[in-house]
Structure 1
Amino acid sequence: MNDLLGSVWWMIVAIGVLVTFHEFGHYWVARRCGVKVLRFSVGFGRPLWSRRNRHGTEFAIAAIPLGGYVKMLDEREGDVATSELSGAFNRKPVLQRIAIVAAGPIANLLLCVALLWGMFVIGRPDYSATLGQVDGMAASAGFQVGDRFESIDGRPVRTWMDALQILTTAAIDGHDAEVAVVDAAGQPHSRVLPLSRLADGFNQESVGREAGLAWQHQMAPAVVGKTVPGLPADGVLLAGDHITAIDGNRIRSFSEIGPRIQALGERGGSAMIEVDRQGERLALELQPVRRRDNGDGPEYWALGLAPPETAMPAVHDAVQRFGPVAAIPAAFRETGRMAADALGMMRRMLTGHASVKNISGPVTIAQVANATAKRGVAWFLFFLALVSLSLAIINLLPIPVLDGGHLLYYLIELVKGSPLSERSMVAGQYVGLALLAGLMGLAFYNDILRLVS
């Protein structure tokens, strides 16, 4: 219930912030162009709060917090007094109308830059793209546990999310990824991940797993939760001991302990288990024994360890932080990168290369809003920036009903020298509503599938 309420609350906060900035862009430019604004509403339906300024504009917060609008004086929407004709939107030159309509998406782009600037100044804690487990395709290509990704296909990698985004794009395009890594010993290498060999219909939402990669921060830490009575670790290792090495080999996660114990058992003899016990470094000698679960399973070598029931959170090792001045170009660069990735994914979906499952609806957005809010201010600012950018891009699509559709009408008017006929514009509105309804239906369908699965 707390997650549900949190998701609803942070969704309302996000929509309120983004819609306010978007509509303020329209409002501000309209006022500069001499257009009379009748209402500035955040939300739809019956106003819960409203007030008027000296220019006669009603500012309102409405009951349905799923968007907003700016209503301007316009002869197409009602009678306009002769004395007010100069303030009607439809009477303005086409270039001014273009500026007013484009101001909403531009406001969202500028907000995206501002939010990313704030995120970089505060510092967003994240995890490096360091491998915690390797198998399948990645193991065959020479990737090893402890490899830290530095760049992929020439694009720098700062976090595991950067790496996953670039690998997903490469997998969808069906080409191999050239990865520059630094191994656990600090030595640089160049490895090639053969993503072109992925089977047709691979899961585009889990490319890392499909390629045999698991990130270090996703692995359970090598901490002893309990020991099994009667086995070698009992009475020697204690709950809370952090195993750092076995037989001189560094241990980074609990999943690495099992294979190392099997190797020790096959070799024979005892081994030194190095642990950190409340800050004290210890080297303990243990010898694995053969064991069979329930008397009928396969035999394996064991020390008698089990992980904690509740996994400890991984330590952030890739904090993205800049000074106030350095954060300005960083925010612009990040906005450009995010926009290029978003447009590239849209192009791939339109051409059928990327799955339409990548489209998310309000349920998923609300869940992500709640999750990022829990992770701190910097992460929530990043979420707001991402949604603000998405709102700008979607609104610029040449679909009637959206800002991009109106811009298309005005560009046609510029070319032909006269406005489109009312009939053509109405027909376009119906087409736009149908496209928008289909897109929203697909987004809700994907949300439901995610909830069910």
Structure 2
Amino acid sequence: MLTVLAFVVTIIIIVAFHEWGHFLAMRAFGVRVLTFSVGFGPKLLNFTDRKGTLWTISAVPLGGYVKPLDAREDETAEGDPGEFSSKPAWQRVITYAAGPVFNFILAMLIYWVLLASYGQSGMRAVIGPVAPDTPAQQAGFQPGDRIQAVGDVTLEGWRPFYNEMILHIGEEQPLAVTVQDVRGEQRVRQLDIGLWSEDPESSPLETLGLNQAVIIGDVLDDSAAARAGLRKGDLVLGLEGAPVNNWQMWQTQIMGHAGEALSLTVMRDGRLLDLSVVPEAVTEQGQTFGRIGVAAGGLYRQEFSLFSAIPHAGDRFVEQVEVILASLAKLVTGKLSLDNLGGPITIAQVAGESAAVGMASFLALLAYLSITLGVINLLPIPMLDGGWIFFGIIEMIRGRSLPERFLLAAQGVGLTLVVSFMLLAIYNDLVKQFS
């Protein structure tokens, strides 16, 4: 139920903002708007405003539209001052562009609110155990390496590292990853991401042999961790002889072994130490589990005021646009398989998962999808806003309208392309569900 609700809310918000942009531009240029619809099909809710616009929410939440008075659809509209197709080309170009622009504005607002409210936090990109016989091992990565840059891009944290990897997916040249090793020296590791490029839906860290370091934060006095000799800053590499690949795995193991002695391998100041810890048995709400009394380390956090959050929101926006454009370019050039296209089922699942995590996660997804909708609609493909913008610019250069026959033919080609990609995305969704 949460998945369905999150999907519907997501589509309604990003589509409504998109169409609102078109609507406001039309009203600004004196165009008579007949219908403003979120969704298609049977009307669920509707009303007509004083200017004669029918506002409606329809049953199929897979898009929306704003319908102006247009002589191309209604010959009786010719000569009406509120008719759309007779407006100057520059006004029509602005009207078509207003939809994607409003998607971008929505994303910027969301990022601004998130940064001003929650700040920016994450886990520093420190390498834990390196899996043998993997690209990471071949590149020379060592436990304790702290990733500082990819190429010329300085970064901090796993999220920007993932984004940089996406920008380079499908490339044959290895990524030049600058790290600071445990001795404080800077080194450049040449990471071949070809194996992940073949299966970009897999976890890049797992596929390439990189693991997030489990770093000990604050240690409670007189706790199991303190008695075992754990200190703040220790890097946990092994538990009972097995590598510790992330904090969740570490926490699960500790909670599942209350009262049992566990052998640990930790790195401290570049030296490996063998320790033993006995998790204390704790009972809460009828459940008994192990606890050793440590907090997660290796975290960073930045706080922003309402004003200082603005440029950082812009940085986040630009970062996501770059990722989306790079992904689209790689789909077109074949560096990224079309099997990776996701449709409404994928969107619904991701929306539901984000909503379950919390409001901040859901809003971040909403911003990303809004940017995606805006970028895709600006592609110069007939039937999309970008196609009409392209034709409008040609008309402005020529000084006269394009032939109606050409526009109809282009519209047919554009419709075929859009429907084909939609069907492919839905097919991919179904394959993922039943494979």
Which bin holds the TM-score, normalised by the shorter protein?
0.7 to 0.9
SS in 2 for 1:76: coil
| Residues 125 and 318, structure 1, Cα contact 8 Å, conserved in 2 | yes
RMSD across aligned C-alpha pairs, in angstroms?
3.6
Map 1:49-60 onto structure 2 (within 5 A): 49-60=45-56
TM-score normalised by length of structure 2: 0.80
Which moved further from structure 2: 176-185 or 351-360?
176-185
Partners of 2:429 and 2:228 in 1: CA distance? 42
Map 1:15-164 onto structure 2 (within 5 A): 15-80=11-76, 85-123=80-118, 126-135=122-131, 136-164=134-162
Q: Which one of 194, 200, 207 corresponds to residue 210 of structure 1? A: 207
Partners of 2:213 and 2:434 in 1: CA distance? 28
SS in 2 for 1:75: coil
User: Which whole-Å deviations, capped at 9, do the CAs of 1:344-400 have from their partners, x for residues lacking one?
Assistant: 221122111222233221111111111111222221111011101100011011111
Which moved further from structure 2: 141-150 or 400-409?
141-150
Decide which structure has the larger Cα Rg and report it.
Answer: 1
- Go from structure 1 to structure 2 and tell me whether the alpha carbon gap of 1:63 and 1:205 turns closer, same or farther (over 3 Å shift): closer
Q: Which residue of 2 aligns with 1:273?
A: 276
Partners of 1:138 and 1:70 in 2: CA distance? 51
Shift of 1:11: 0.7
Shift of 1:320: 5.6
SS in 2 for 1:192: strand
Which moved further from structure 2: 372-381 or 395-404?
372-381
1:429 aligns with 2:397: no
Q: Which residue of 2 aligns with 1:416?
A: 398
Which moved further from structure 2: 71-80 or 313-322?
313-322
Which moved further from structure 2: 163-172 or 427-436?
163-172
Q: Which runs of 5+ in 2 are unaligned?
A: 218-222, 244-261, 267-272, 283-288
Q: Which one of 3, 6, 10 corresponds to residue 10 of structure 1? A: 6
- Go from structure 1 to structure 2 and tell me whether the alpha carbon gap of 1:396 and 1:263 turns closer, same or farther (over 3 Å shift): closer
Letter in 2 for 1:211: L
Partners of 2:353 and 2:296 in 1: CA distance? 17
SS in 1 for 2:12: helix
- Go from structure 1 to structure 2 and tell me whether the alpha carbon gap of 1:16 and 1:253 turns closer, same or farther (over 3 Å shift): farther
SS in 2 for 1:325: coil
Q: Which residue of 2 aligns with 1:225?
A: none
| Residues 244 and 251, structure 1, Cα contact 8 Å, conserved in 2 | no
Letter in 2 for 1:99: I
| Residues 73 and 80, structure 1, Cα contact 8 Å, conserved in 2 | no
Map 1:368-407 onto structure 2 (within 5 A): 368-407=350-389
Q: Which residue of 1 aligns with 2:286?
A: none
SS in 2 for 1:108: helix
Q: Which one of 312, 337, 342 corresponds to residue 324 of structure 2? A: 342
Partners of 2:297 and 2:354 in 1: CA distance? 17
Q: Which residue of 2 aligns with 1:283?
A: none
Shift of 1:275: 5.7
Partners of 1:401 and 1:336 in 2: CA distance? 26
| Residues 142 and 191, structure 1, Cα contact 8 Å, conserved in 2 | no
Q: Which runs of 5+ in 1 are unaligned?
A: 222-237, 265-269, 280-306
Shift of 1:278: 8.3
| Residues 243 and 273, structure 1, Cα contact 8 Å, conserved in 2 | no
Q: Which residue of 2 aligns with 1:194?
A: 191
SS in 2 for 1:47: strand
Partners of 2:367 and 2:331 in 1: CA distance? 22
SS in 2 for 1:343: helix
Which moved further from structure 2: 98-107 or 252-261?
252-261
Q: Which residue of 2 aligns with 1:332?
A: 314
- Go from structure 1 to structure 2 and tell me whether the alpha carbon gap of 1:130 and 1:79 turns closer, same or farther (over 3 Å shift): same
Partners of 1:323 and 1:153 in 2: CA distance? 31
Letter in 2 for 1:127: M
- Go from structure 1 to structure 2 and tell me whether the alpha carbon gap of 1:343 and 1:90 turns closer, same or farther (over 3 Å shift): same
User: Which whole-Å deviations, capped at 9, do the CAs of 1:288-330 have from their partners, x for residues lacking one?
Assistant: xxxxxxxxxxxxxxxxxxx98xxx9978934464221111011
| Residues 151 and 175, structure 2, Cα contact 8 Å, conserved in 1 | yes
Q: Which residue of 2 aligns with 1:177?
A: 175
User: Which whole-Å deviations, capped at 9, do the CAs of 1:391-410 have from their partners, x for residues lacking one?
Assistant: 00110111111111111221
TM-score normalised by length of structure 1: 0.77
- Go from structure 1 to structure 2 and tell me whether the alpha carbon gap of 1:433 and 1:245 turns closer, same or farther (over 3 Å shift): farther
User: Which whole-Å deviations, capped at 9, do the CAs of 1:34-76 have from their partners, x for residues lacking one?
Assistant: 1111111111122222222221212111122111111101111
